[in-house]
Amino acid sequence: MDGPMKRVWKRKYLFSRKILRRGCSDLVGRPPIGISCERCKYSCSKSVDNVTRNTIFEHFWNLEKAVQQREYIADLVERHQPEKGHPRKRFTQTYTLRHAEECHKVCKKFFISTLGISERIMRTALEKGRRRL
């Protein structure tokens, strides 16, 4: 084996070793809710308690299809024009969490950790949501 084939084999081999060491516990089920942010300007931890976060998390992961999850994310993230003092900035995003007809403005880190998603999943959902409009 030479060059690219050896690299592919090595990557697959090391990945399978990592899975065996962990006991495959990471691959089954939903991701856990991440930690909350303590020092942000929105005081997210105070406005949204852990019970509410858990309810939002369960609601998101109980949606049947990935398309519905993407639409849910796209509905909660709003894109704005930046303030006049930032000429090179193209847009600003606002993140909100809804529960029982209440909207809570939160930071990006809190939003991502509450839904148990990665930044890549969020970015993909927003791109596909913008194309739909």
Domain ranges within the chain, ordered by starting residue: 1-30, 34-132
**Full-prediction pTM beyond 0.85?**
no
Please give the pLDDT value at position 38: 76
Q: Distance between CA atoms of 93 and 133, rounded to whole angstroms? A: 17
Q: What are phi and psi of 49, to 5 degrees?
A: -80, 175
Residue whose structure tokens are 């609601």: 59
Q: Distance between CA atoms of 29 and 105, rounded to whole angstroms? A: 28
Instruction: Dump pLDDT digits (tens) for 12-61.
Output: 777 777 666 665 554 555 677 777 777 888 888 888 998 999 999 999 99
Which whole number is the average pLDDT over 115-122? 92
Q: Distance between CA atoms of 63 and 61, rounded to whole angstroms? A: 5
Which whole number is the average pLDDT over 72-85? 87
Which whole number is the average pLDDT over 117-133? 85
Mean pLDDT of the chain: 83
